[in-house]
């Protein structure tokens, strides 16, 4: 059986007064991430890692802002569910994903468990197959200055055999 790996990255600027969603979880903060969807950089990075592992392009290839099936403000978890359908249709099963959110503020440690559950639920996999971490950049760069948040992710997938299905 073939195993593949993919890498994803996303970054968005913070916008005061908007809701902040990270890895599918609403985070209490005074700013949110700008974007056509909910701006969830963690989920976007995971989507790109999954699509990259399967050599299916990237998030912009499948979920264009001008596509009527991708309305403004759409939940990134819905886009992740659609990504899982693309992977299954192409014959792939997710082994695991690992994501890191880079944000000076807010502190995210208390939300990590909920984030792992939200991503696992959208992927239709066990929470043990999802790792989410958070870090700061100690005041350096746009994330360190608090003007934006970024995320990176790696995913591993394997060929889907006829006997295997998602839990």
Kindly give the confidence (pLDDT) of every residue in the chain, 167 residues in length, as a single tens digit, with 9 standing for 90 and above: 799 999 999 999 999 999 999 999 999 999 999 988 999 999 999 999 999 999 999 999 999 888 888 888 889 999 999 999 999 999 999 999 999 999 999 999 999 999 999 999 999 999 999 999 999 999 999 999 999 999 999 999 999 875 555 55
CATH of 3-159, one of 3.30.70.1150, 3.40.630.10, 3.40.30.10, 3.30.1330.50: 3.30.1330.50
Q: What's the pTM value of the predicted model, to 2 decimals?
A: 0.94
Q: What are phi and psi of 15, to 5 degrees?
A: -125, 120
Cα R_g (the chain), whole angstroms: 15
CA distance 112 to 21: 12
Write the Ramachandran bin of 27: left for phi over 0, alpha for psi from -120 to 50, otherwise beta: beta
Chain centre distance of CA 107: 18
CA distance 136 to 85: 33
CA distance 76 to 83: 10
Asked if 43 contacts 23 with a C-beta cutoff of 8 angstroms, the reply is yes
Structure tokens at 124: 């239709």
Asked if 91 contacts 160 with a C-beta cutoff of 8 angstroms, the reply is yes
């Amino acid at each position: 059986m073939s195993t593949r790996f993919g890498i994803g990255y996303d970054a968005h600027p913070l916008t005061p007064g908007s809701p902040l969603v990270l890895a599918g979880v609403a985070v209490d903060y005074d700013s949110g991430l700008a974007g056509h969807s909910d701006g969830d950089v963690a989920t976007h990075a995971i989507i790109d890692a999954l699509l990259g592992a399967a050599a299916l392009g990237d998030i912009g290839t499948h979920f264009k802002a001008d596509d009527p099936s991708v309305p403004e403000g759409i939940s990134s978890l819905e886009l992740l569910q659609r990504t899982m359908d693309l992977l299954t249709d192409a014959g792939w099963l997710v082994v695991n994903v690992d994501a890191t959110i880079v944000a000076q503020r807010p502190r995210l440690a208390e939300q990590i468990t909920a984030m792992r559950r939200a991503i696992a639920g959208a992927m239709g996999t066990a929470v043990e197959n999802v790792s989410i971490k958070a870090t700061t950049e100690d005041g350096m760069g746009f994330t360190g200055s608090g003007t934006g948040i970024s995320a990176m992710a790696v995913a591993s997938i394997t060929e889907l055999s006829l006997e295997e299905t998602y839990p």
